[in-house]
């Protein structure tokens, strides 16, 4: 049964910002890009677009360089974050190529202007690409140091009037503790933004949760490690945690 079959459930949201970590693109490698993983995730994004969902993707750069890690090694934090922003552009360009190889039009828009390789980000340009059925890849974070790509995803979701932020991680939701360290950690099925902030749940930074709360944007936290994970989360299937606005 195809995802276009009328017997299939409708997607929960019609316009989403997917937050994809750079580490998710490494596969089992220690760093860099794993091409089979890149192509698998590109396939998921195409399926999601074929479901009629408008897709924006914010990609991190941790598979190449993390600003905080650079700062810990002695690079000035603002400079380290700038290096990290460049890493996100590399990942976005790679994903753009993987999408176009399978027939899904895509565009990279960067908050750090580098017009020789991609289009500068603007809200108007991003919305125009979405209407034209392109997957947009939002690189460069917010364009400013000291802000994570999680916060960048929440910001772009608010700017683009997205219905949800989909946080694609290495675990299948938000847990009471790190499930890799404590096998007895309990997974939440549903939370409010206030609960996530009050309990200091570290799957996203507090600024991202707060920005999503102020704009009443749901957050879906799910694992991207399996094929079909993105469309499954959008259909309300599979294992995930849904962070929803308070009633």
List Cβ neighbours of 124 (8 Å cut-off, separation of 6 or more): none
State the pLDDT at residue 32. 92
State residue 228's pLDDT score. 93
105-154 residue pLDDT tens: 999 999 999 999 999 999 999 999 999 999 999 999 999 999 999 999 99
Q: Which burial class, exposed, middle or buried, applies to 244 when counting CB atoms under 10 A from its CB (0-12, 13-18, 19+)?
A: middle
pLDDT at 73: 83
Q: At 169, phi and psi to the nearest 5?
A: -125, -170
* Domain range annotation of the chain: 15-244
Q: What is the pLDDT of residue 3?
A: 42
Average pLDDT, the chain: 92
In terms of C-beta density within 10 A (0-12 exposed, 13-18 middle, 19 or more buried), how is residue 126 classed?
buried
124 phi and psi angles, rounded to 5 deg: -65, -45
CATH class assigned to 15-244 = alpha beta
Residues of the chain with pLDDT under 50: 1-6
User: For residue 90, which of 126, 124, 114 has the smallest C-alpha distance?
Assistant: 114
């Amino acid at each position: 049964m195809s995802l276009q079959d009328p017997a299939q459930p409708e997607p929960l949201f019609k316009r989403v910002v997917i937050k994809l970590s750079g580490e998710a693109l490494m596969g089992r490698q220690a760093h860099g890009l794993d091409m089979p993983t890149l192509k698998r995730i590109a396939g998921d994004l195409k399926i999601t677009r074929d479901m009629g969902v408008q897709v924006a993707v914010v990609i991190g750069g941790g598979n190449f360089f993390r600003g905080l890690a650079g700062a810990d090694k002695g690079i000035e934090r603002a400079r380290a974050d700038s290096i990290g922003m460049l890493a996100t552009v590399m990942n976005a360009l790679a994903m753009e190529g993987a999408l176009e190889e399978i027939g899904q039009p895509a565009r990279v828009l960067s908050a750090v202007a580098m017009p020789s390789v991609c289009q500068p980000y603007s809200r108007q340009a991003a919305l125009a690409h979405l209407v034209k059925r392109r997957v947009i890849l939002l690189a460069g974070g917010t364009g400013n140091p000291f802000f994570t790509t999680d916060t960048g995803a929440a910001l772009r979701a608010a700017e683009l009037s997205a219905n949800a932020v989909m946080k694609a991680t290495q675990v299948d939701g938000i847990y009471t503790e790190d499930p890799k360290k404590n096998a007895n950690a309990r997974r939440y099925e549903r939370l409010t933004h206030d609960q996530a902030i009050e309990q200091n749940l570290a799957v996203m930074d507090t600024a991202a949760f707060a920005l999503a709360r102020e704009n009443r944007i749901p957050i879906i936290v799910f694992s991207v490690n399996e094929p079909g994970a993105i469309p499954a989360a959008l259909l309300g299937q599979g294992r995930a945690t849904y962070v929803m606005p308070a009633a």
